[in-house]
Amino acid sequence: MTTTPRATARIQFFAGFTLDDAVPLVPYFAALGISHLYASPLLMARPGSTHCYDIVDHNRINPALGGEPALRRLMKVLRAHSMGLILDIVPNHMGVGGADNGWWLDLLEWGQSSLYAGFFDIDWTPPDPALHNKILAPFLGAPYGETLANHELVLQHRDGLYIEYHEHHFPITARSAALVLHAEPVLDDISHAFLQATTIPGRVASHDAAKRAKSMLAQAVTHPDGAAALKSCLARFDSRNPDGARRLHELLERQHYRLAWWRAASDEINWRRFFDINTLAGLRVERPAVFNATHRLILKLYAEGVIDGVRVDHIDGLANPRAYARKLRRAMEAAGQSRPPDAPAGQPYIVVEKILAPRERLPEDWQTDGTTGYDFMDQVAAVLHDPEGESALTTLWTDRTARPGDFATEEAPARRQILRDNLASELNTTATALRRIAARDLTTRDYTLTAIRRALTEILVHFPVYRIYAGQAGSSDTDRQVMDRALAAAQRSIRAADVKLLDLLRLWLADESPRALPAGPIRTAQRRAMVRFQQLSAPTAAKSVEDTAFYRFGRLLSRNEVGSNPEVFSIPPAAFHAACAERARRLPGAMLATATHDHKRGEDTRARLAVLSEIPAEWAAALARWMRLNNIIRRESGPSPADEIMLYQSLVGAWPLGLTGLDNAGMEAFTARVSAWQIKSIREAKLVSEWAAPNEDYEHACNEFLRRTLDTSRPILAEIIAFADRLGAAGAVNGLAQTLMRLTAPGVPDLYQGCEYWDQSLVDPDNRRPVDFAARQASLLQNTPPALALSDWKSGVVKQAIIARTLALRKQKSDLFAHGTYQKLEADGLAAAHILAFARRSRGQTIVTAVTRLSTGMVDASPLIPPQNWIGTSLRLPGPEWIDTLSNSRHSGRVIPASALFAHLPVALLSSP
């Protein structure tokens, strides 16, 4: 067994599914052929977190998941089944707010004197002088004055004095604690101790002194006199009376933070967030102390053989992804010297979550094994779309909705809106950093902050990738090419007076190496501006594309997926083969995914929707009829034609196989799922409603429209079910094709939880629903041959059977799948375009993957292609003798008729004897 996985299974852990819950599933995953479990974040997260990316303590395994004892129990069982564990880690940010993150609470209490002031990415001198040396704390649900007047801010005591606001704790400074306690003589000594803590030189010494003062206070309140005195002190700051409210406000004004309404964050926040989420604060993991503090437990677990590798979340959020990835590898390799003899051998497995734009490549010098697989997810989906349908579906979308037919036209205004409404503070911070550079040179000092912000906005609106990686040594050829594209587009939209600024910003952001500048403030300022820009372009892309424009552009929702560009409707088989061959050469250990915890639609929902690319005329006719039938229930307030069309796509794409209008419970459950998707879709689009300002009238109208569409008394429901059935078999062919390609293409296949069966999920939280593992365990035990399972294809067992047999072959021929070369294969004949095939070869062994694509005109009620549809079509093979792993059929000859190849299944996996 090695640290590099043969195949992974992603599990989402939370309080409702703990580490101990996974233990009895290990034998099932082992029997399925999985080599490593792939765990969502396991470090201590905010209480109640359902995703655990909001870590509050990097040095504890989450007690809600069972803690470290449960992790070691799971590892013991994994090792007994010769399996390993990959851990999802989150170096970019931490969960803040609440009362759980000790580093954050220390920062609020001590400000720049905090032991952790350098851990968070804070601008202590923002444009607003009122925030100098303060942290904006935008956690209030209403404006500050209103919150104070409503008596929601309460001075409390527990391990020190703090302001309580619902679940949030805001510690007060030692000096403020001294002031509060000074009112009662009984507490004078403690008040003096707090005051003395502020005068002791040295951060550690002053912190220790403050801890002693807190201990003195805790001891004092165990006695009646002390408790009464403290109660009297706190009462003086009770906002229910005017004097108390005044004192409380004055006390808050003396703190290292400024409490604010959550809406103020977009304009004024002075610390880096994860995207625009106020409860996730960016970490400066590029600093050695921060790296060490956030990776201590991870490295310990690797050294002890508890984990075998990591998945790095949102690496593009870091100041220097390359330096981080290389340092992580060095640190894990060093820790690996202490791994026990029975731990899997080999180098640590490291993959990174990275969205790659078309033609963008993950740099090999990062020293990672590859990405987490969004790029493959895009490629394998695109090759299953029919390019012939693009024009008709584009026309259908524009005619019905009056919205743009090209994605770029939707993306640009979405980017402007995100920069204006969600990331305005981050934009201002970056522009200010650039303005500080301009002000240091007489030739540039007249470029104003406003002008720089305008020019910066135009660059970001047209930025073609998540980010560049220019740094101390300057920029790479790739960085310069990206800037060329961004500036060329920006020049077409920027006002003429600002054109010259574009070249200047390019110089500062990419072309000029900070090392070429004199050491000191100028070099530091430029390096800081470069990092600010790179850490802004990534969330701008994510928020405007995936979380906005994806919900506005509904030509075909199967192409609106994380890692995909909806502008790319399809790719030809040659492009798919080229991508696979390149991966085999460059990053053979990269992860391959077709479903994730972040996907917009499940892998089989997308596979079914892809069928619409083959039948655009049928889809147009169905839409016309349904929109006409639903005229009677459509309100003036909504839905819009775009939202209506996207609803119909979601219904036919996610419709559960076998669900009928007579199943009341099933209908209600499905309606609830689609309703949750609908609300999220409307708000993410930010056209009529949004999370910050929900349009309840519109949302209610859309929800009523959905429920009446699914009313069993109306004829449209039967038509929708019939159309979903019409797509079902061809969608299943696509689903089996992408499954087999994921399992056999160069890379490490990942199985997202529950996707052994059909995955007709929608966006989260729908894609994180509980999985019926008992059913999956039972069907795997039956060991039904895939060809036999195809007769009951709607159950999904055929998909599981194909996965199990393919992963068994991967185990048997592990070297071939890990290191084998990649060769595209050619088909001949009338239906040659419906076959995609490739070979993997290593040390005299060969396997061939062959799948059916674009099958709508070839199937009827079953995914099995009738032999007459393959007449005159054959596949050329790289050897004379073959055994089909999936059907146990034997084939001879270097040319095999497609009717024989696909006699039992729409996919085949041939192996040389």
pLDDT tens sequence across 482-527: 999 999 999 999 999 999 999 999 999 998 777 767 777 888 889 9
Q: What is the mean pLDDT of the chain?
A: 96
* Nearby residues of 57 by Cβ (< 8 Å), 6 or more positions away: 43, 44, 100, 101, 102
Helix (H, G, I), strand (E, B) or coil at 751: strand
pLDDT at position 474: 82
pLDDT (average), residues 222-233: 96
Give 218: exposed, middle or buried? Use CB within 10 Å, 0-12, 13-18, 19+.
middle
Q: How far apart are CA 738 and CA 729, in angstroms?
A: 14
pLDDT at position 1: 78
Phi and psi torsions of 635, nearest 5°: -90, 160
Whether residue 449 contacts residue 442, with contact meaning beta carbons closer than 8 Å, is answered with no
Tell me: the pLDDT tens digits for 775-818? 999 999 999 999 999 999 999 999 999 999 999 999 999 999 99
Measuring CA to CA, which residue among 76, 39, 45 is closest to residue 58? 45
Q: Cα separations (Å) of 583 from 16, 352, 373, 591?
A: 37, 15, 11, 10
Tell me: the pLDDT tens digits for 231-277? 999 999 999 999 999 999 999 999 999 999 999 999 999 999 999 99
Q: How far apart are CA 563 and CA 599, in angstroms?
A: 9
Percent of the chain at pLDDT exceeding 90: 96
Whether residue 640 contacts residue 688, with contact meaning beta carbons closer than 8 Å, is answered with yes
**DSSP string of 14-61?**
BTTB-HHHHGGGHHHHHHHT--EEEEPP-EEE-TT-SS--SEEEEEEE
Q: How far apart are CA 220 and CA 879, in angstroms?
A: 86
Tell me: the pLDDT tens digits for 103-153? 999 999 999 999 999 999 999 999 899 999 999 999 999 999 999 999 999
Q: From the CB of residue 206, how many other CB atoms can be counted at a distance below 10 Å? A: 19
Measuring CA to CA, which residue among 874, 831, 877 is closest to residue 854? 831
Hunting for tokens 């099958």 — which residue is that? 855
Task: Determine the straight-line distance between the first and last CA of the chain, rounded to whole angstroms.
Answer: 25
Q: How far apart are CA 870 and CA 898, in angstroms?
A: 6
pLDDT at position 522: 82
Q: How far apart are CA 211 and CA 89, in angstroms?
A: 32
User: Looking at the predicted structure, is the pLDDT value of residue 473 above 90?
Assistant: no
Q: How far apart are CA 307 and CA 63, in angstroms?
A: 18
pLDDT band, very low/low/confident/very high, at 677 (cuts 50, 70, 90): very high
pLDDT at position 118: 97
Whether residue 695 contacts residue 688, with contact meaning beta carbons closer than 8 Å, is answered with yes
Q: How far apart are CA 39 and CA 10, in angstroms?
A: 6
Q: From the CB of residue 15, how many other CB atoms can be counted at a distance below 10 Å? A: 16
User: Looking at the predicted structure, is the pLDDT value of residue 690 above 80?
Assistant: yes
**DSSP string of 795-849?**
GSHHHHHHHHHHHHHHHHTHHHHHH-EEEEE-EESTTGGGEEEEEEEETTEEEEE
Q: Which residues pair with 844 in a beta bridge?
A: none
Q: How far apart are CA 541 and CA 622, in angstroms?
A: 34
**DSSP string of 389-456?**
GHHHHHHHHHHHH---SSHHHHHHHHHHHHHHHTSHHHHHHHHHHHHHHHHTSTTTTTS-HHHHHHHH
Tell me: the pLDDT tens digits for 39-74? 999 999 999 999 999 999 999 999 999 999 999 999
pLDDT at position 42: 98
Q: Which residues pair with 748 in a beta bridge?
A: 591
Tell me: the pLDDT tens digits for 354-390? 999 998 999 999 999 999 999 999 999 999 999 999 9
pLDDT band, very low/low/confident/very high, at 472 (cuts 50, 70, 90): confident
Q: How far apart are CA 19 and CA 137, in angstroms?
A: 34
Helix (H, G, I), strand (E, B) or coil at 375: helix
Whether residue 7 contacts residue 807, with contact meaning beta carbons closer than 8 Å, is answered with yes
Tell me: the pLDDT tens digits for 632-642? 999 988 899 99
Q: For residue 755, give the DSSP letter.
A: T
